[in-house]
Amino acid sequence: MNTTTNRAYNFNAGPSALPLEVLEVAQKELLDFQNTGMSLMEMSHRSATFEEVHNGAIERLRKIYSIPENYEVLFLQGGASLQFTMIPMNFLQQDQTASYVLTGSWSEKAVKEAKLFGKSVEAASTKENKYKNIPTVEDINFNADDAYVHITSNNTIYGTQWKVFPETGNVPLVADMSSDILSKPVDVSKFGIIYAGAQKNLGPSGVTVVIIRKDLLEKANTNIPTMLKYTTHADNNSLYNTPPTFGIYMLGEVLKWVENQGGLEKIAQNNEEKAALIYDVIDNSNGFYYGHAEEGSRSLMNITFRVADEELEKKFLAEAKAAGFVGLNGHRSVGGCRASTYNAVPREACQALADFMVKFQQDNQ
């Protein structure tokens, strides 16, 4: 437990830790936003006050990520899971194939949805290796006339992450970046679509960010429901219907925090150093702890590991919980342990976990 602020060491996979500074700003502004006499949650989404918040968040995201002008930035709802449906519904034409790279449960769910709308294939998969690694770029098989190639940039359940993104030429590269967006610099121009649920690195749950190239919008299918058309939201600045106003406000405050940290280069450095604290304990434990992901594919966002003895693993998780560490249980589908070290998880929490792991090993060998 962080006794200075009486806050838990939060390693939840999502919804996850938010920067303390952002929470303090929200607390201060909760009842009276900018002397309006109202909470932002009580305001019309058509008001000038909210419009400034909304557009400010879009522009700040454009600046931080150096998003080119030929891309739309959308704030949608439904999470990444709705994007699994919207992407093939909008962009998978009858005479085309969508290629999916399978690296975990979320990419499996994405391709399952795509198959409802047209021909979708596995361009590469590491399932036979229990999703312990990311495929090499050379392993990905797709055709020049494919509708798109879909990847999941970071895999929360298995703890793997793309280090180098594939080059797909004229075929749009689509990336679910829900769990590592804004964790490092990314060349947005290499992608046709980037999408991400906010609840890991961007803010609270309820907002989904979609960064989409404008020429794709011009080619999108039109005979689909209005709310599921990207053009509906692009044409209305994501205000076709009532948006998650408080979530967008919080997202904007998180983006301000990223800027105050020194931008994405500094954020990336911090994330590498935080993850190294925990991976070093695993690597130097002589097998007491062992990771799921192969070293070259390790995630800086989700550190998945096991304790060699099953009963000791249960004891580890119980004692860690008692010591103020939250969210260290692995995903229910795979078990084990998982430390999610997203942007807002402070170095102090990672150091505390590393120290706890060392002491637990010493006490239980």
Provide the CATH number for the domain around residue 283: 3.90.1150.10
Residues 241 and 298 in one domain: no
**What percentage of the chain reaches a pLDDT higher than 70?**
99
Q: Is 145 a catalytic residue?
A: no
Does the pLDDT at position 76 exceed 90?
yes
HSE-up (13 A, CA, CB side) for residue 303 = 25
- Catalytically annotated residue among 176, 180, 229, 257: 176
Question: Reduced to 3 DSSP states, what percent helix, strand and coil does the chain have, rounded to the nearest 5?
Answer: 40, 20, 40
Based on the domain organization, do 101 and 233 belong to the same domain? yes
Same structural domain for residues 245 and 329?
A: no
Residue 333 lies in a domain: yes
Indicate the helix (H) or strand (E) that contains 161: strand 160-161
247 shares a domain with 113 = yes
Tell whether 146 and 253 lie within a shared domain: yes
| H/E run at residue 124 | strand 119-125
User: Does the reported pTM lie above 0.95?
Assistant: yes
13 in any annotated domain: no
Say yes or no: 335 and 238 in one domain.
no
pLDDT at 114: 98
Q: Is 355 a catalytic residue?
A: no
Q: What is the mean pLDDT of residues 338-362?
A: 98
Residues 229 and 276 in one domain: no
Q: Name the residue among 176, 1, 203 with its Cα closest to residue 87.
A: 176
The answer as to whether 330 is a domain residue is yes
Q: Is residue 175 part of a domain?
A: yes
Per-residue burial over 3-35, b if 16 or more Cβ lie within 10 Å, else e, is eeeebbbbbbbbbbbbbeebbebbeeeeeebee
42 lies in the same domain as 144? yes
Q: Which of 200, 229, 256, 274 is catalytic?
A: 200
Are 244 and 347 members of one domain? no
Q: What is the mean pLDDT of residues 62-75?
A: 98
Torsion of CA 96, 122, 70, 68, to 10 degrees: -170
Q: Are residues 281 and 351 in the same domain?
A: yes
Averaged pLDDT, 341-363: 98
CA distance 336 to 101: 25
Q: Of 205, 231, 260, which residue constitutes the final position of a domain?
A: 260
- 65 part of a folded domain: yes
Q: What is the mean pLDDT of residues 149-159?
A: 98
CATH of the domain at 230: 3.40.640.10
Asked, for residue 315, whether it belongs to a domain, the answer is: yes
Judge if 200 and 297 occupy the same domain: no
Domain count, the chain: 2
| Whether the predicted pLDDT of 2 surpasses 60 | no
Instruction: Tell me which DSSP letter residue 298 carries.
Output: B
Q: Is 106 a catalytic residue?
A: yes
Q: Kindly tell me if the per-residue pLDDT of 3 is higher than 50.
A: no
Domain end (from 260, 291, 310): 260
pLDDT band at 210 (very low <50, low <70, confident <90, very high): very high
Q: Which domain, by its residues, includes 82?
A: 24-260
Of the three residues 260, 278, 301, the one that is the final residue of a domain is 260
Compute the mean pLDDT over every residue in the chain, rounded to the nearest whole number. Answer: 97
Residues 250 and 289 in one domain: no
Q: Is residue 14 part of a domain?
A: no
